[in-house]
Structure 1
């Protein structure tokens, strides 16, 4: 059975379009791959759930929710860099960008990020004006 030239062109164009949409997604490897899945942090407000899927992060706290795009730079020293961009469908902080640092250690990860108009933190500590720090533990299945 012969396919018409139009069908062949449409199949090739569809494949090219599908491949180009995946080209925009970062490869899930290295530290980004290690972060994939569900994590839990605890603080005075209660438990928060962090779900990493590709370069997308969903955070659900006891009273808020955030949808975030993350960018990792594991080659930075002395601490690896993580940057956050809160998506428009997060009413609590839409459009907010924050610079942070992270440290992966198996089933635990430490993350600290800058507060509004603050520089990237250099330590894993919370300072209510300049930085927020979290210790996440991998959620058990």
Structure 2
């Protein structure tokens, strides 16, 4: 073998060793980063994700399907409508409220429709629009109830056309 070929074999062998060492270092750094992230995420306090347990009173939430509503929106000059399917959340220990929701389903539906019909597309198309609508619905529905209060409104469907 000539000296030039021996030099290339030696330098490519050294280059291969450097690449392997570099890859091992990257693997160690990545593993350490993942391990640190994993440990930090396990020990971090959990945020309230809106699950079925309320942090305030630590009770389970019951659900009442209010139904599906299709209403014309209050946009002038255009025929826009909102289709929404709502579920109401409340304290599951309040059995009287369960009965009241069943008995007053027509009054609750009327309250929901009245609230939805005065909305415009611009009101609901913002980032906070649907959340503001939830708060308004909670207030309007709770005004019709006497044996308890609903705590949440959930959208199973929310469609503007």
Question: What's the TM-score, normalizing by structure 2?
Answer: 0.30
Structure with the higher strand share, 1 or 2? 1
Structure with the higher helix share, 1 or 2? 2
By relative contact order (CA 8 Å, sep 6+), the higher-ranking structure is 2
Whichever of the two has the greater Rg, that structure is 2
Question: What's the TM-score, normalizing by structure 1?
Answer: 0.33
